[in-house]
Amino acid sequence: MKPFKVKTLVKNIFKNFGLSNINASICANYILMAELYGAPSHGLARLKMYCNRLEKKIINPKPKIKVKKISTSIFHIDANNSMGFVAADIAIKIAIKNAKKSGISLVAVKNSGHYGLSSFYAEQAVKKNLMVWCFTNAPPAIAPYGSKKSLFGTNPICFGTPSGNKVPFILDTSMSMINRGKIRVAAKLGHKIPLGLALDKFGKQTTNAKKALEGTQLPIGGFRGSGLAWIIDIMSGVFTGSNHGGKVKDPFDDFTGPQNVGHLFLVLKPNLFVGKNYIKRIKENIKMVKKLPKIKGVKEILYPGQGRGLRYKQNLKKGIVIPKNILQEIRKLNVIK
């Protein structure tokens, strides 16, 4: 399907589920971007879930989002259980505006929902020649090191910087071996997942996606990944005033109330210490990595974000391929209201 058609379709569905024209447009845009980035686990596959939650009003379709100024460069947003996309979109725009003025800006968001890919927001800052960190917590998926029970979310960590190249440097990675959305898509399509990514509920390695969802996901790098997921829970949850410690509700399975996810955005001017030399220095830095001798089978050493940039270009031309079962869900959503 052509990208603009996907966007119009999704926007209309969100409007039918009570979102304002502008908020429906923001959400549709991010869902389309996930598809274009080649991350369908965070795109149309989640539309039904968002609509279910909007219908039950555990995502507030008409939120009154409050922005509290704490100092010239620090802001605290109460998202009033809005769509995560909407709150995060406001937050990153405030962070960008204020980092441009004062060199650095920190924006915390509480009472929010699932905001999709962190790179959506990082990319906006990088396009304005800024450096950025984005954090969000997520529902329990990873067992803290030494435990059998999931508590931390897949809690992505995201860093972006201008690269002196058309494609920004954006590392955007879950703290789990694989993001949960990919396991959900595999479970939906009846596909297996590779060994070494998840345990079943008895603590045994599994390749069965459904059993993995009932069990726990393995963190990247053992106790180190578990520690990083913990940091992100502290920064996004404890620090911002949002749910934390395993209390963020699973948007697919738990309809007992809003998720109360937290996000944190830190945006900085990259030239704070080295002035105009920053771009020259980052270019040199990337060049030094890229020209290293490669291992067998590797054509090019990529920097984070390069692959996604390429997929975006290709998908924009090729259009969005929607799996049959997801197309059926979308058709139902489009007809129901």
Ligand X SMILES: NC(=O)c1ccc[n+]([C@@H]2O[C@H](COP(=O)([O-])OP(=O)(O)OC[C@H]3O[C@@H](n4cnc5c(N)ncnc54)[C@H](O)[C@@H]3O)[C@@H](O)[C@H]2O)c1
Binding site for ligand X (CB under 6 A): 39, 42, 114-119, 136, 138, 154, 156, 158, 170-174, 179, 302, 304-305, 307-308
Q: SS3 for 333?
A: helix
Cα gap 111→85, rounded to integer Å: 12
Whole-number minimum distance, CB 241 to ligand X, in Å?
A: 18
Residue 198 burial (CB count, 10 A): 27
Of 15 and 168, CB closest to ligand X: 168
Whole-number minimum distance, CB 306 to ligand X, in Å?
A: 7
Q: Please measure the distance between the N-terminal and C-terminal CA atoms of the chain and give it in whole angstroms.
A: 22
Whole-number minimum distance, CB 84 to ligand X, in Å?
A: 7
Whole-number minimum distance, CB 248 to ligand X, in Å?
A: 9
Of 116 and 215, CB closest to ligand X: 116
Asked whether the beta carbons of 225 and 219 are under 8 A apart, the reply is yes
- Counted residue by residue, the chain has a size of 337
Of 15 and 42, CB closest to ligand X: 42
Asked whether the beta carbons of 283 and 166 are under 8 A apart, the reply is no
- Please name the residue that has the structure tokens 């209201």: 337
Of 15 and 229, CB closest to ligand X: 229
Of 15 and 303, CB closest to ligand X: 303
Handedness of CA 105, 248, 157, 116 (dihedral sign): negative
Of 117 and 151, CB closest to ligand X: 117
State the number of CA atoms in the 13 A half-sphere of 20 facing the CB: 10
Cα gap 307→102, rounded to integer Å: 33
Whole-number minimum distance, CB 69 to ligand X, in Å?
A: 26
Whole-number minimum distance, CB 228 to ligand X, in Å?
A: 12
Radius of gyration (Cα) for the chain, nearest Å?
20
